[in-house]
A = this chain, B = another copy of it.
């Protein structure tokens, strides 16, 4: 049945108002109870100190507003058979969401010890913010949630992510007026310019002006209403204001106003949807949004200890912080609880009475039971084209040249073709710059902000699989929302700027970690990063664009949710990404180059290599079978591997008796001990590759200490010498960049000479030659502005064909 029906406006009946208000009272009662009560849950005895929790933790202020809206959404869901989920920006309203899910019935279905009895209510109350119980926020533990809301700012991005490709879905989204001050939220209003009215669902933002944050008024509640309306219109919305509940106004009047407004708004949405379906929508619709102005902490005591509580920031958390230890507060709490008339709300057994739950929709239409909010239930594996078919030809190591991400782009193009409605690519205006342009052969960039004839060759369209906005926050938030509702996707970004979403990554990783332990949550697709335009090739930009530290940030999170890959050529990238798009419940970070670079492995080799996660490149080394190597040259990342191979080729020529082993690491987590990461090599496997006592020179893509951190428990760790990015760099040539950071082939050769016992003495001349080569290479750049031909024309062995790579300038923006 279609969600989007126009309904002739009808007056709201007194019965409907009564149902709304009773649900609200019950939800409020159950919320306050969770925050304060250990026992006596239905107040069947006078409230005493012992009934109150010793530690009062949680947030009341936001909760009555969230409960209010929940009740109203129930009404319209029932009336219109809406398919709705509820996203609450102030996730600290956790008790409210739990209360509503309990009234719905879902809570007891999911947690079967929390029955609809007095004892059930007792357990419900006790577990909240209690050791061993449930978190205070709208966490994965909360049925119906896809948004924890602890770190404020992402409600609308998550909502729009959920709405993409869910044409029947209404995502009702509460934005806190404090939350609205955050940067990510402030730009996320513009998400409405990326929605396809035909194929996507609808986000209904409800800006909750309860007036206050933790200890301050909120900006949007204090600017003149006319200014706020202009702001919302400027964001492209049609705002509807509902205000009330102040100075003791009867809530029934406010119920009536919100109910009427919701009817209006849903009709407007139905009209837009109908026009879109009929193809008569010419312009971007001005989607409705609601401004709901109600008192913070509505229905709590007006004053506590002479300070205002209701309609004040003081109600943000636990208004009666001493409810247990101050008799007057105990009384006030009892009065407050009794104001909801619990005796009318629960029957003899302690189950909510019929009137209190009359508004509950049925089955999956309950917002707390909607499978969309437990996306793994709906998730279908992607249909993946065989990545082997996209392999580049590698006649010999280094024998051909590709832009790795462009090759990936060919495959992603066909991923899109095979999965036209559940796979998207998000990016901050860099999808082409990151060389995924092949995708535009089959799809467009979704864009509803306005187009001009000149855009005709720029792949902007009402619908498309690529969504680009210059906000890493939006891209990340949209993708998270999309994944948590059961779909698949990739975010591509410059490596340096992905730090912008460090904290969002944290929150998503924490969500995944918690979800694993919740039996009814089903696995969702992994969040896949494709980081290109990386630290070593910031030719146009220099210093501000050079930062490989996202990997360091990521590996701080629980090992069972993070994976980091550094494919070093086109075929390893293909093989890696195929793996990523099949995986669930991880965050996969893939860093890959976009510049023309040599291909090292055939597809068969790449598959074997990626399956191992690392490997010895036997063609590159000079080992003698049956003998330990004199030195191990290891590398992770495309540029470091190239330099390491160049170093190996110098050693092969200049010190032919030296037994060199060359190793490449694609899956960084292989380096960690098996006990610390599921991908970790066992110690004996590690020793077999890196030896337990020989010097290891490691050229790493990022900050060198990360390799130490991953391997400090390994045998022979004190023989490990790592080169990487040491924060040196500016706008210069690629080889000058590696030299500035001591990661160049010449320096690596010197490292080998310095670390292999006795070698430096014997090879003094070579060492000096290397020093001079560095000097010569540097001077050349200063004179010619480009790298010395001996570097740019270098090729592995007889792979002369590959000599002609270099850079493709012009779009490393």
State the A residues within 8 Å of B (CB): 38, 53-59, 91-92, 126, 129-137, 139, 148, 150-153, 178-179, 181-188, 190, 193, 213-219, 222-224, 227-236, 307-308, 311-313, 316-318, 321, 429-433, 445, 447, 449-452, 454-455, 457-458, 460, 468-474, 496-497, 499-500, 502-503, 506-507, 510, 513-514, 539-545, 547, 549, 552-553, 556-558, 703, 705, 708-709, 712, 717, 727, 730-733, 736, 778, 781-782, 784-786, 807, 809-811, 813
Is B510 in contact with A543, judged by CB distance below 8 angstroms?
Answer: yes
Q: How many angstroms between the C-alpha atoms of A502 and B550 in the bound complex?
A: 10
Name the contact of A503 in the complex, choosing from B184, B445, B499 (C-beta under 8 A).
B499
Q: How many angstroms between the C-alpha atoms of A810 and B324 in the bound complex?
A: 13
Chosen A-B contacts, 14 in total, with CB atoms closer than 8 Å, are: A55-B786, A131-B785, A132-B732, A132-B782, A135-B543, A136-B731, A137-B543, A183-B471, A230-B230, A311-B454, A313-B458, A500-B502, A552-B552, A709-B712
Q: How many angstroms between the C-alpha atoms of A305 and B56 in the bound complex?
A: 69
Is B539 in contact with A222, judged by CB distance below 8 angstroms?
Answer: no
Is A473 in contact with B231, judged by CB distance below 8 angstroms?
Answer: no
Task: Say whether, besides A190-B219, A460-B216, A468-B216, A503 and B506 are in contact (CB < 8 Å).
Answer: no
How far does the Cβ of A485 sit from chain B's closest Cβ, in whole Å? Answer: 20
Is A182 in contact with B187, judged by CB distance below 8 angstroms?
Answer: yes
Task: Say whether, besides A179-B470, A186-B183, A213-B429, A150 and B545 are in contact (CB < 8 Å).
Answer: yes
Is A429 in contact with B215, judged by CB distance below 8 angstroms?
Answer: yes
Q: Which residues of B contact A556 (CB under 8 A)?
A: 549, 552, 703, 727
Q: How many angstroms between the C-alpha atoms of A429 and B213 in the bound complex?
A: 7
How far does the Cβ of A430 sit from chain B's closest Cβ, in whole Å? Answer: 7
Is B785 in contact with A219, judged by CB distance below 8 angstroms?
Answer: no
Q: How many angstroms between the C-alpha atoms of A809 and B445 in the bound complex?
A: 49
Is A785 in contact with B53, judged by CB distance below 8 angstroms?
Answer: yes
Is B541 in contact with A137, judged by CB distance below 8 angstroms?
Answer: yes
Is A215 in contact with B432, judged by CB distance below 8 angstroms?
Answer: yes
Q: How many angstroms between the C-alpha atoms of A8 and B133 in the bound complex?
A: 71
Residue of B nearest to A734 (CB): B55
Is B502 in contact with A57, judged by CB distance below 8 angstroms?
Answer: no
Is A233 in contact with B236, judged by CB distance below 8 angstroms?
Answer: no
How far does the Cβ of A718 sit from chain B's closest Cβ, in whole Å? Answer: 8
Q: How many angstroms between the C-alpha atoms of A313 and B732 in the bound complex?
A: 24
Is A317 in contact with B813, judged by CB distance below 8 angstroms?
Answer: yes
Name the contact of A499 in the complex, choosing from B133, B470, B502, B717 (C-beta under 8 A).
B502
Name the contact of A187 in the complex, choosing from B181, B499, B500 (C-beta under 8 A).
B181
Q: How many angstroms between the C-alpha atoms of A217 and B153 in the bound complex?
A: 25
Q: Which residues of B contact A311 (CB under 8 A)?
A: 454
Is A151 in contact with B181, judged by CB distance below 8 angstroms?
Answer: no
Q: How many angstroms between the C-alpha atoms of A321 and B810 in the bound complex?
A: 6
Residue of B nearest to A183 (CB): B183
Is A153 in contact with B223, judged by CB distance below 8 angstroms?
Answer: no
Is A135 in contact with B727, judged by CB distance below 8 angstroms?
Answer: no
How far does the Cβ of A282 sit from chain B's closest Cβ, in whole Å? Answer: 13
How far does the Cβ of A526 sit from chain B's closest Cβ, in whole Å? Answer: 18
Q: Which residue, A58, A130, A217, A234, has most C-beta atoms of chain B within 10 A? A: A234
How far does the Cβ of A797 sit from chain B's closest Cβ, in whole Å? Answer: 28
Q: Which residues of B contact A496 (CB under 8 A)?
A: 151, 503, 506
Is A781 in contact with B543, judged by CB distance below 8 angstroms?
Answer: no
Is B732 in contact with A131, judged by CB distance below 8 angstroms?
Answer: yes
Q: Which residues of B contact A185 (CB under 8 A)?
A: 183, 187
Q: Which residues of B contact A472 (CB under 8 A)?
A: 182
Q: Which residues of B contact A709 (CB under 8 A)?
A: 705, 708-709, 712
Known: A135-B731, A216-B445. 4 other contacts (CB 8 A): A137-B541, A182-B473, A318-B810, A506-B549
Q: How many angstroms between the C-alpha atoms of A110 and B549 in the bound complex?
A: 34
Is A38 in contact with B216, judged by CB distance below 8 angstroms?
Answer: no
The 8 lowest CB-CB distance pairs between A and B, nearest first, are A231-B234, A150-B544, A183-B183, A186-B187, A131-B781, A222-B450, A499-B503, A230-B234
